[in-house]
Amino acid sequence: MASLSAGHSEPVSGVPASGDSAQGAEAAVAVQQQAGSDPYFPDHGDARYRVHRYELTLDYRPGPNRLAGSARINAIAGRSPLTEFTLNLSDFKIGRVRVDGRQPHYTHRGGKLRVRPAKPVRAGAAFTVEVQWSGNPRPVNSPWGGLGWEELEDGALVASQPIGAPSWYPCNDRPADKAAYQISITTPSAYAVVAGGRLLTRTTRASTTTWVYEQPAPTSSYLVGLAIGKYQTVLLGDPGPGGVPQHGHIPAHLLPEFSRDFARQPQMMDLFQELFGPYPFDEYAVVVTDEELDVPVEAQGLSLFGANHVDGARGSERLVAHELAHQWFGNSVSIADWRHIWLNEGFAKYAEWLWSERSGGRTAQQLAAAAHRLLSSQPQDLRLSDPGRKLMFDDRLYERGGLVLHAVRCAMGDEAFFRMLRGWAGLHRGGAVTTRTFTAHVNRFADEPLDGLFDAWVNRAALPALPTQGPARPNHPPTNAESA
Ligand SMILES: [Zn+2]
């Protein structure tokens, strides 16, 4: 079980300690301030303010699928006085709304809560919004099916990428607006509640139990994940002093398969920390639901898998690696807006290949060649730098994204490539980035600018040739005789 004691000592702040990371935080703030509405989802998010903390107090009854919530949102106005602002929230019944304790004027329609404070918030000033809501949560419709709060046969699951968060709480729904979260959920005691972050307290009263989770790291609204169900909790591996606690939450009957399929996750964690730098959060949890999911989904400090992703034969191990890698790429280093989604998915795809290479499977070069063959046989009408909303989750974006990193690695060599990768994860920890941020970062580590490489792979649709020179294999150093 997770620790049930309160009182952890980490500061409730996403500002990293090291000098490099502090620069990253400044850069992230700059990106947040520049970013306007999301080009792919103009109805989501409001760039006129940002949130630094959400406190959500929820009561959920699985039988009637009834949710009642109250939110306390600490926010900061942008560079202009705030006469009005919006929060995204699905069509719940709205109770009390307050801005700094005073009743504002508000309207709620089309998934938007439009709030006009009694008195405008001064430019740059901190303000607090309180909202109460209740109703039957249901997923947000999207071209990719229902997103966000989903009622299961016995419980609920929240996976919101990209625009499902308003299905259950009021939020500034844009990936660059990252905030700390405290989430308190009361539900019948037969159910376990799993959220990303540290379980601070679990309190049982009569027939209900209240679970309080704290996620101090800056978190995008779509990455607030949740699972409510009948789960057994197991510790994966032995984190040891300073290690990352890793828990699994699984229906009891899937425990044998899970134990085998996720057995190597602690080794993955070790490898990724070696390759990408320290794991960016305090803990990591995986949930396997009792139902099937099309694909596993990443959340902050948490990944959600379906029953179809465990088979007792490690059939989905690449996805275990993929979701874990998102904790660095996508969750800690986030995208400024959805045009840059390849920075999440290409990196997670390449992490699959790195795990394969380093765990005795096919090499990254072999996997890159296979991906290249696949892409060669498919239409070449996708530009990674701006794929469009329709193609943002296209398989080709994942494969080609992985190939970009492989091409960069081949061009730079392993030493510079992994130094660059660790620098990327460290410098932008807790922040938000764009494709341009990445290409500029790579060029600082390369002997000569890789602008041509990026132009061909990222800005254009035609598929460049597979890099012919594979990365050096360091595990067999040549003997004197061979090198002569
Ligand atoms: Zn992914």
Euclidean distance between CA atoms 285 and 3, whole angstroms: 13
Residue 393 Cα to ligand 1 midpoint, Å, equals 9
Report whether pLDDT(129) > 60.
yes
Residue 205 Cα to ligand 1 midpoint, Å, equals 39
Q: Where do we find the tokens 């960016």?
A: 280
**Are the beta carbons of 165 and 224 closer than 8 angstroms?**
yes
Residue 37 Cα to ligand 1 midpoint, Å, equals 23
Mean model confidence pLDDT for the chain: 91
Which of 176, 192, 238 lies closest to 38, judged by CA? 176
Residue 127 Cα to ligand 1 midpoint, Å, equals 35
Which of 393, 356, 353, 351 lies closest to 372, judged by CA? 353
Residue 343 Cα to ligand 1 midpoint, Å, equals 10
Q: At 202, is the secondary structure helix, strand, or coil?
A: strand
Residue 94 Cα to ligand 1 midpoint, Å, equals 34
Residue 323 Cα to ligand 1 midpoint, Å, equals 6
**Are the beta carbons of 296 and 323 closer than 8 angstroms?**
yes
> Which residues, in sequence order, are CB contacts of 276 under 8 Å at separation 6+?
325, 328, 329, 351, 421, 422, 425
392-403: pLDDT as tens digits: 999 999 999 999
What dihedral do alpha carbons 10, 15, 21, 24 form, nearest 10°? 160
Residue 483 Cα to ligand 1 midpoint, Å, equals 41
Task: Specify the pTM.
Answer: 0.90
314-360: pLDDT as tens digits: 999 999 999 999 999 999 999 999 999 999 999 999 999 999 999 99
Residue 245 Cα to ligand 1 midpoint, Å, equals 22
Q: Cis omega (within 30 of 0) on the bond before 117?
A: no
Partner residues linked to 109 by β-bridges: 112
Beta-carbon neighbours within 5 Å of ion ligand 1? 345, 348
pLDDT of residue 444: 98
pLDDT of residue 469: 65
Residue 325 Cα to ligand 1 midpoint, Å, equals 9
Q: Which amino acid is at 289?
A: T
Residue 330 Cα to ligand 1 midpoint, Å, equals 8
Residue 20 Cα to ligand 1 midpoint, Å, equals 27
